Each structure stands twice: as structure tokens, then as C-alpha cells.
Amino acid sequence: MCGRAFLSEGGGTDRSGVLGSTARQFNFPFNQSISNIILVSKLDFSPWKILIIDKLDKIGGHNIWNSSSNQLLWLAENKITNSFWKDVLLAWSYRDTKPPSSSAEVLSQILWYNSDILIDKKPVYYKKLVNSNILHINDLINNEGKFYSYQNFQAKIANTNNVVINFLEYYGILSAIPASWKAVLKQDPRKLLEIVDCRDMALLRHSFKPAKIFYWKFLDKIHIIPTSQKRWLEQINITDIEWRKFYILPFKTTTHSKLINLQFKILHRILATNKKLKLFGIKDSDICDFCKTEVQTISHLFWECRVTEEFLDSVFARLADNCNIDLAVSKKVIIFGLLPIQKNMAINNFLLIVKSYIYKKCHQMKPLNLTEFK
């Protein structure tokens, strides 16, 4: 595969059935995503890798593939703009990661943008330390297997890159490392000479047909109900058969990648609402930009908000008048769509467009306008 094709943004058609109803949906084939991880993770130098390596260096370098599933999901949602690379990270995040249990695994954990290492409930990133090659917990450990004192750590980075870090920044990082990880290090104090790969990464690098291995390995997880699906079931009654159909509905309904991507984020509850943006420290308030009174969640934005409710009433009233379509609107229909798919292709496409318009206006912090929407 040439570098140009490898870096292309691409778009999604009906590629939803790769891993079944409980798997994540990708704009690119799952096997292609895994194959591309194999190519990039090789430590050889190829000219086509220059742009990719530059982007990887900002989020952890080659060792990003050793990150936990939650960390990869956070990076895909908040730090990666290229839809191709989002899919690659999402594909790799689907593997079954477990908390580090050995000293070597803890020491190999990436410090930056790590969803387990939080300060003020946000992942940490200090560019000055990244530039000084401080990337892993192991880089905070002295030769005796203990954390550097502030004075010794400052001396280390000053000698390397003439960088200064203050007392609070350094001990803030140490305090953010989970206590369970520190307990593991206390039982087996050491410093690694080389960062170790996680089990899956080692398997990926050294297997003869790694994409095939991971395809079947991930298929074994199909029976596990995703957390996002469990959360939706707390609000809306949906059968297993309906779930399978809702996962493929956007791919059957439209070829517009932005509409497919929006519905993907809704289904998996990763849409950037104000509640989520405040959680990540991007916004100061989680209050809805439309009604100015309630916390903005996915359900609130598309159904519960009084402003959205008034807009939807006007939209479907006009739909009934102009097209003679009297749709029984409900939260389930608005959020997930209308079944059966084949019979309601036009309606489902319309619902995706309506949600896209609502989300666009929310993002722009502008009011919903029926005349403009028409």
C-alpha cells in the first residue's frame, strides 16, 4: 500500500458487519486497520511514515499501541481529526485490555494523555517533558527503582534539554499515578532498560497472520454487551434484534460519511455534548446551549430539551402537511431511527439530517431555525 492511499481520509459505505452487533463500527475495514497498525508499529524507517510518525510523537509515539482501550478511545475522540486514524485507534481499542499487574507493565505505561493518570479529572500532557523524552512511568524512576526526588529529576531533565519543571507540576504527576500501580512498584522496585510491549502488541509484531488472529480474537467478545448499549437500555427498551438493525441502519440509509459518523457517536455515547466537554475540561459549563437550564446530554440535546422539542414539533407538523407523513415520534425513533429499515429509508435519512442540523447549531451556539432548515 502506498503512503498516499494509506493517509487518505476515505469514506464509509456499508462496512458495518465486521464484528457483529456489539462491535464498534468503522469507516474502514477492520482488517485494514489492524494491518496498518502492523506497518506503522515496525520500527524501520520509510519515507511515507514521516507524517504519521510526527503525529504519533505528539500522543505517545510508537508506544501508543500499548495504551489501554479507554486511553485510545479518549485520544480518538479528542486528539485525532483524521477519520482514517480515528478508525485505526478505535479498532485497536477494541482489544481486551487489563490493568497492568506487573512492575514491567506499570513502568511501561505512557504518562501523557493517559485516561488513568488524571489531574483535575483530565489527562496530563507536558510538552516540555515530552521534548525531554520523558514518556513513560519508567522515566520517573531512578536506578534504585524509586521515584526521583524533585531535585534529582530536575537535574536529569536540565542536563538533557535545559528544561525546568516546578515542584507542583512534578509531584502532581506522581500523585496522579494510581495507587494500585504504585503498590505494584513497591513490591518489585526496578527500572527497565527497555520498555516492554503489551501482550497484544507483542503478538501483533511477531505473529505470521496477526490480522486474522485479532479478527477471531475480537469476535470472541461479541457476547459482551458494550457499556454504551447498557446505558441506553437504562432509558429505552431495545431488543437484541433491534440493536443489530440499529447498528447497520445508518450504513443502509445513507452514504454521507458525516451522517454515519454522527449516528455512530450517538449509538456509542461518545458524542461531544457539553456534559462530556466539561468532563474533559474543554468547556466551563455543561448546561445546554439551547434551553440554558438543563445539563446537555445526548438524550437532552435531541429529545428532552424544550427548544429541541418545539423545533421537532414544527418539523414534523410541516412534514405531515407537505408530505402527508404522520410520524409517531418518540425518543427511541429520534435517537435510533425507525424500523424496518427497508420500508423507512427516506424517513431514517431525514431523521439523520434533522439530528445533524440540531448538532451543528448546538456546536455553532446558534438558535434552531425552521425556515433555515427547510
Residue 76 pLDDT: 73
* CA proximity to 73, closest of 61, 55, 57, 90: 90
Ranges under pLDDT 70 in the chain: 1-69, 91-97, 160, 196-223
359-373 burial, b for 16+ CB within 10 Å, e for fewer?
bebbeeeeebeeeee
58-64's contacts with Cβ under 8 Å and 24+ in sequence apart are: 58/130, 59/112, 59/113, 60/110, 60/112, 60/113, 60/135, 61/135, 63/108, 63/110, 63/135, 63/136, 63/195, 64/110
Task: Give 120: exposed, middle or buried? Use CB within 10 Å, 0-12, 13-18, 19+.
Answer: exposed
Residue 357 pLDDT: 96
Q: Strand locations in the chain, DSSP E?
A: 118-119, 122-123
Condensed to tens digits (0 to 9), the pLDDT of residues 9-56 reads 333 333 333 333 334 444 444 555 555 555 555 545 555 555 555 566
Residue 121 pLDDT: 85
DSSP class of residue 119 equals: E
Residue 326 pLDDT: 83
* CA proximity to 70, closest of 9, 120, 12, 118: 118
Give the Cα-Cα-Cα angle 43, 33, 83 (nearest 5 degrees).
105
Residue 1 pLDDT: 34
The three cell numbers of residue 1 are 500500500
pTM of the model: 0.45
* CA proximity to 312, closest of 292, 328, 296: 328
Question: Helix, strand, coil: what percent of the chain each, to 5?
Answer: 55, 5, 40
Condensed to tens digits (0 to 9), the pLDDT of residues 47-60 reads 555 555 556 655 55
Question: Who's near 183: CB < 8 A, 6+ residues apart?
Answer: none
Can you tell me which residue has the cell 424500523? 339
Residue 26 pLDDT: 45
